[in-house]
């Protein structure tokens, strides 16, 4: 018995063993002894994770896939979490232990998976996985590019991102419509911001609400003082700002009193 792919769960099963092995090799194994695979499906990647020196756990929303895994990977049985990754409390699930995340992610929720990891970065030292290529490139992109955006800044504020390799649609069953890309995120040594985090997220999101406008225009909702908006940074557009400049900008906004 195999699992019949369900489109609404973003199921595209990898059928290339070598690529599964290459993805499993993406984790550096530094600084953790527990790994969580999101969306194992029929376990093509899990099989290679189980050969490594860490303890592998998996979380899978599809009951049919869970039954398949229980049957085919008895050694994994006690480490299968039959739940929706987006709904668990990650830190308490793993007793505040460090846990690296990996997966060939369901593309319909891949950004939400990443944002959840970022929120939980205190317990997520590393994150590797497959996204739609376009999304993977956007996450890794630097300032000055058209695809640099909210997800690039919010990820790179806390993680060093590396685009590793591209995977064609032909190696999946059923094949997705687009290329896929594998990236790896390694948490920065200092992953706490020197500014108010909520404000930073708000500044980044508001700035990119209107990519083509200058920050002076986009950030009007913040009601900033004329004194502050005289600063030349406000003549820029969001895609021109590095992560550090967004942090500096947040710091200035934090101190601004109208």
Our CB check for ligand SAH shows the closer of 147 and 164 to be 164
- The pairing of strands 172-173 and 126-132 is unpaired
Our CB check for ligand SAH shows the closer of 9 and 193 to be 9
| Least separation in angstroms between CB 62 and ligand SAH | 4
Q: What are phi and psi of 59, to 5 degrees?
A: -125, 125
| Least separation in angstroms between CB 183 and ligand SAH | 15
| Least separation in angstroms between CB 113 and ligand SAH | 8
Cβ(130)–Cβ(67) under 8 Å? no
Contacts with ligand SAH by CB under 6 A lie at 9-14, 38-41, 44-45, 59-62, 65, 84-86, 104, 106, 109
Task: Name the residue number minimizing CB distance to ligand SAH.
Answer: 39
Placement of tokens 């739940």 in the chain:
83
How many Cβ atoms sit within 10 Å of the Cβ of residue 46?
A: 25
Our CB check for ligand SAH shows the closer of 25 and 197 to be 25
DSSP state of 96: T
Cβ(172)–Cβ(44) under 8 Å? no
Our CB check for ligand SAH shows the closer of 42 and 157 to be 42
| Least separation in angstroms between CB 130 and ligand SAH | 8
Our CB check for ligand SAH shows the closer of 109 and 140 to be 109
CA dihedral 30→32→38→42, nearest 10 degrees, is 80
């Amino acid at each position: 018995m195999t699992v019949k792919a369900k489109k609404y769960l973003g199921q595209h099963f990898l059928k290339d063993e070598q690529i599964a092995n290459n993805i499993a090799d993406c984790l550096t194994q530094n600084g953790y002894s527990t790994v969580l695979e999101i969306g194992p499906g029929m376990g093509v990647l899990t099989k290679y994770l189980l050969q490594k020196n860490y303890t592998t756990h998996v979380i899978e929303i599809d009951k049919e896939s869970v039954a398949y895994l229980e049957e085919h990977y008895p050694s994994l049985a006690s480490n299968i979490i039959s739940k929706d990754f987006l709904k668990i409390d990650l830190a308490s699930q793993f007793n505040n232990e460090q846990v690296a995340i990996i997966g060939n992610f369901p593309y319909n929720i891949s950004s939400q998976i990443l944002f959840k990891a970022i929120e939980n970065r205190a317990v997520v030292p590393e994150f590797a996985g497959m996204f739609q290529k376009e999304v993977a490139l956007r996450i890794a992109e630097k300032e000055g590019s058209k695809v640099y955006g909210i997800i690039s800044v919010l990820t790179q504020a806390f993680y060093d991102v590396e685009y590793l390799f591209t995977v064609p649609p032909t190696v999946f069953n059923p094949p997705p419509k687009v290329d896929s890309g594998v990236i790896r995120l390694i948490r920065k040594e200092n992953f706490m911001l020197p500014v108010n985090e909520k404000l930073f997220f708000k500044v980044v999101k508001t700035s990119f609400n209107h990519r083509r406008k200058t920050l002076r225009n986009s950030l009007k909702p913040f009601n900033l003082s004329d004194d502050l908006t005289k600063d030349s940074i406000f003549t820029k557009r969001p895609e021109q700002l590095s992560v550090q400049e967004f942090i500096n900008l947040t710091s200035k906004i934090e101190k601004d009193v109208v």
